[in-house]
Amino acid sequence: MAGQDRVIVAPGDTLPDDVQGKEPYVIDIGGKKVATVVGLLDLRGEKPNFIPLLHVYVPKPGDVVIGLVSSIGVMNWFVDINSPYAAVLTAQDFLGRPYNPLTDDLTRYLKVGDYIKAKVVAFDRSRNPLLTVNGEGLGKITEGKIVEIQPAKVPRVIGKKKSMLNMLESETGCQIFVAVNGRIHILCPNKDLESIMVLAIKMIEREAHTVGLTERVQKYIQELKKIKGIGEA
Amino acid sequence: MSLTPFRIPIVPELRKNTILSLIAKGLRVDDRDIVTPRNVKIETGVIEKAEGSALVRLGATQVMVGVKAEIGSPFRDTPDEGVITVNAEFVPLASPMFEPGPPDENAIELARVIDRSIREVNAVDRKALVIRPGEKVWVLFIDIYVLNHDGNLFDASMLATMAALATTKLPDYEEYETGDIEIVREKTIGPLKLNHIVLTSTIAKIGDYIIADPNLDEETVSDTRIVFAFDENGRIVGAQKTGMGAITLDELYRALKIAKQAANVYFKSLEEALGGRLPVERQGVEGHG
Amino acid sequence: MGGKAQVRLIDEFGRRHDGRLPEEMRPVRMQVGVLDNSDGSAIVEYGKTKVIAAVYGPREPVQRFMVLPDRALLRVRYHMAPFSTWERKSPAPSRREVELSKVIREAFEDIVLVKLFPRTTIDVFIEVLQADGGTRTAAVTAASLALADAGIPMKALVAGVAVGKIDGVLVLDVDEIEDGSGEADLPVAAAPDIGKITLFQLNGVLTEEELSKAMDMALSAIRQLVELEKKALKEKYAFSREVRSE
């Protein structure tokens, strides 16, 4: 583990009083700040920062997510967004016009098992999250591959100032979109590079809390490319 | 599978606040203090066809217990002991919360806690239930029937169980050359041999307060309850924390103290109902063995 | 009350039938993240007792009525595998399993931050793979680890241990042989970080003094168990998944 400046804490552990960290991952019990999930306490900055290592994705309006159509309603689809709550995408939103269930069929546009890129419009604890596909780049995903990781690891795949993301794209020639709900869409020139990218992402997920990760992942990709006999992408 | 109860009765906010503000002053809605149980009424011998029976009213809570004696084989690993089995039914007529069907986790828990409380100290002497060692023993069926639920089913059930057992008369039986044994229910041969009287005393924790014998409203707003079982010598012979909240060690000891006080009232009530005498010999307080 | 124990439970040196001293726990092993499909999982061993727990959720239940409007519902299943005991146990849930599922669920109701996930269920499935006494306490410890492994926010970690009384001596972490012939069995679960007792049962006779001593014994062991839980959770991130106690 990383030594004095970064410490892993467990639920119930007390954190420094001036720790940066929000509910529900840091709560106040009897005047002390306590961690409620396993997380990383980063003591390097001006104020200690608590980063939860495992957490459930809770949607926020404005989040761009990759959803998986899981079932079909009368006027809408139910979409799995890797969160405790199934999200809703209305037919009207998708088609941009009113939808008549008597003369039309939702499965013509999206079937169960399709992936979509969508934005969370609304979510409060009394209703399920509402999605929209109106926006640039949003809509049904028709090519490429989707990789799932724990939502907590998403920042690591992006890296500080996109360092990890840029490295991945340049080393593999793939296009990557990392959604905040732990799903990653990759579009690669060929199947070999696609496999290499998946392995690289899984490595990042496993070792997200370690230092020097970007360099190690880069080396790893280069070795894999050598094995597969791929030149510079 | 155990589920968080999701069809719980809703106690109106007003009633809940009344309960809390009264408890803060050491009082309860029905004029009691925090260590005193409700009015106890015990009737025995209420079901003639049962070998033993009792009806207990604890405030508005009503529980009836019937004891039936049958003859059967002992368990393989205890050939020299009779068999006692306890079952509880939370019948639907007793409360809008009770659904028809097999006993739910609450009924099962209650039956098992009562079973353990009398089993551990051999309250009903199981060796005295043997007819023919290894072959034929008395099998006692203790059936707890909740008739009206107004809180604290444990204490009412335990009182009724003990009252029924204390007044149970084992039926006569005939042994034939074939080895068969037939019960002759028209005649009785005597009471059960009781080694101890065991009663439970339940407390509820509501916020920082601990109260004895909670009624239904108090139970509903409580964080958690603890059931303590005592014998006639004041020994602790069982305990069960039941309910969703948590307690501190301090609260546990406070609860024990209050439970013991309330238990004394239950023992007195039972003694009176049994004609002024408990059918066991009391030994000093906190006896051994 | 058993009278059927041929084994001497405590010898003249104060050692138990397996050589332990009264305040000694059996060797404890904990492993986190052992099952891929569940959101969180853990295996806990107290000596020969082996328990596995898996957590799914928070998730919306298949049966839509099984919800509460303002909090998550906990669903806990404590179940013993048919091969877990000397005599094969029928897979159908027994009354004992029903009661233990309830008390184990209640051990977590005030610990998991359920208000964060209204209208969902959090499922905790516990299977006893091998039973040698203390299964419900090992189950609580495994469930606590599995919940933390799933990233479900909790006020604190919970662990359980049972204290027994055999031949008049209080002993920690009773195994099956001791449980069968002892005079008392006290399973306890607590969250030491917040000083709360969440599971408490007594089967048998204890004086008030014995109860006090037994609780101290249990809580001290629980503190150590929670430290082991934290170690197991943290070590998942140091490439070594297993944690052993000496």
| A58 is a domain residue | no
Separation CA C98–CA B106 (nearest Å): 9
Q: Which of A117, A140, A163 represents a domain boundary (last residue)?
A: A140
Residues A94 and A158 in one domain: no
Domains of chain C are 28-238 (3.30.230.70)
Residues A41 and A108 in one domain: no
pLDDT digits (tens, 9 = 90+) for C123-170: 999 999 999 999 999 999 999 999 999 999 999 999 999 999 998 999
Test B249 with C195 for CB contact under 8 angstroms. yes
Residues A151 and A103 in one domain: no
Separation CA B194–CA B147 (nearest Å): 27
What average pLDDT does chain C have?
91
- Best of C237, C240, C241, C243 to mutate (most A CBs within 10 Å, chain A): C237
Tell which wins on pLDDT, B282 or B30: B30
Give the pLDDT of residue C242.
37
CATH code of the domain covering residue A181:
3.30.1370.10
Residue B253 has pLDDT above 90, yes or no: yes
Residue B205 has pLDDT above 60, yes or no: yes
Q: Is C6 exposed, middle or buried (0-12, 13-18, 19+ CB in 10 A)?
A: exposed
- Helix, strand, coil % (nearest 5) of chain B? 25, 35, 40
- Give percent above pLDDT 90 in chain B: 75
Residue C239 has pLDDT above 50, yes or no: no
pLDDT digits (tens, 9 = 90+) for B131-164: 999 999 999 999 999 999 999 999 999 999 999 9
Separation CA B169–CA A41 (nearest Å): 70
Domains of chain B are 16-273 (3.30.230.70)
| A149 is a domain residue | yes
Nearest-Cα distance to chain B for C37, in Å, is 20
| A57 is a domain residue | no
- Give percent above pLDDT 90 in chain C: 78
Residues A118 and A187 in one domain: no
What average pLDDT does chain A have?
89
Residue C3 has pLDDT above 50, yes or no: no
Lowest mean pLDDT across B180-184, C45-49, C156-160: B180-184
Residues A128 and A158 in one domain: no
pTM, full prediction: 0.90
Helices (H), chain B: 13-24, 105-120, 153-166, 216-221, 249-273
Residues A115 and A186 in one domain: no
Give the pLDDT of residue C221.
98
* Residue A141 confidence class, pLDDT cut points 50, 70, 90: very high
Instruction: Work out how many domains chain A is built from and give that number.
Output: 3
* Residue A4 confidence class, pLDDT cut points 50, 70, 90: low
Neighbours of chain C (3+ CB pairs under 8 A): A, B
Residue B181 has pLDDT above 70, yes or no: yes
Separation CA A46–CA A32 (nearest Å): 20
Query: Do residues C165 and B236 lie in contact, with contact meaning Cβ atoms separated by under 8 Å?
Result: no
Test A10 with C229 for CB contact under 8 angstroms. yes
Residue C6 has pLDDT above 80, yes or no: no
What average pLDDT score do residues A160-178 get?
Answer: 91
pLDDT digits (tens, 9 = 90+) for C62-115: 888 888 888 999 999 999 999 999 999 999 999 999 999 999 999 999 999 999
Give the pLDDT of residue A232.
53
pLDDT digits (tens, 9 = 90+) for B97-136: 899 999 999 999 999 999 999 999 999 999 999 999 999 9
- Give percent above pLDDT 70 in chain B: 96
Nearest-Cα distance to chain B for C76, in Å, is 5
Q: What is the CA radius of gyration of chain A?
A: 20
* Residue B283 confidence class, pLDDT cut points 50, 70, 90: low
Residue B286 has pLDDT above 70, yes or no: no
Residue A87 has pLDDT above 90, yes or no: yes
- Give percent above pLDDT 70 in chain C: 93
Give the pLDDT of residue C41.
96
- In this structure, is the dihedral angle defined by the CA atoms of residues B278, B280, B283 and B286, taken in order, positive or negative? negative
From chain C, pick out residues whose CB is under 8 angstroms from the CB of A10: 148, 157, 229-230, 233-234
Q: What is the CA radius of gyration of chain B?
A: 20
What average pLDDT score do residues B185-201 get?
Answer: 93
Give the pLDDT of residue C141.
98
Q: Which of A8, A27, A55 sits opposite C151 (nearest CB)?
A: A55
Test A27 with C193 for CB contact under 8 angstroms. no
Test C68 with B6 for CB contact under 8 angstroms. yes
From chain A, pick out residues whose CB is under 8 angstroms from the CB of C40: 54
| A233 is a domain residue | no
Residue A188 has pLDDT above 50, yes or no: yes
Give the pLDDT of residue B4.
93
Residue A155 has pLDDT above 80, yes or no: yes
Tell which wins on pLDDT, B29 or A134: A134
Residues A87 and A136 in one domain: yes
B and A: touch, per 3+ CB pairs < 8 A?
no
- List the domain range (segments joined by +) for residue A183: 145-228
Helices (H), B76-152: 105-120
Query: Do residues C221 and C161 lie in contact, with contact meaning Cβ atoms separated by under 8 Å?
Result: yes
Nearest-Cα distance to chain C for B241, in Å, is 5
Residues A37 and A102 in one domain: no
- C-alpha distances (whole Å) from C226 to each of C25, C30, C76, C218, C246 are 14, 11, 21, 12, 15
Residues A116 and A166 in one domain: no
* Residue A115 confidence class, pLDDT cut points 50, 70, 90: very high
What average pLDDT score do residues B195-215 get?
Answer: 95
Give the pLDDT of residue C93.
93
Lowest mean pLDDT across A120-124, B13-17, B234-238: B13-17
Test C60 with A126 for CB contact under 8 angstroms. no
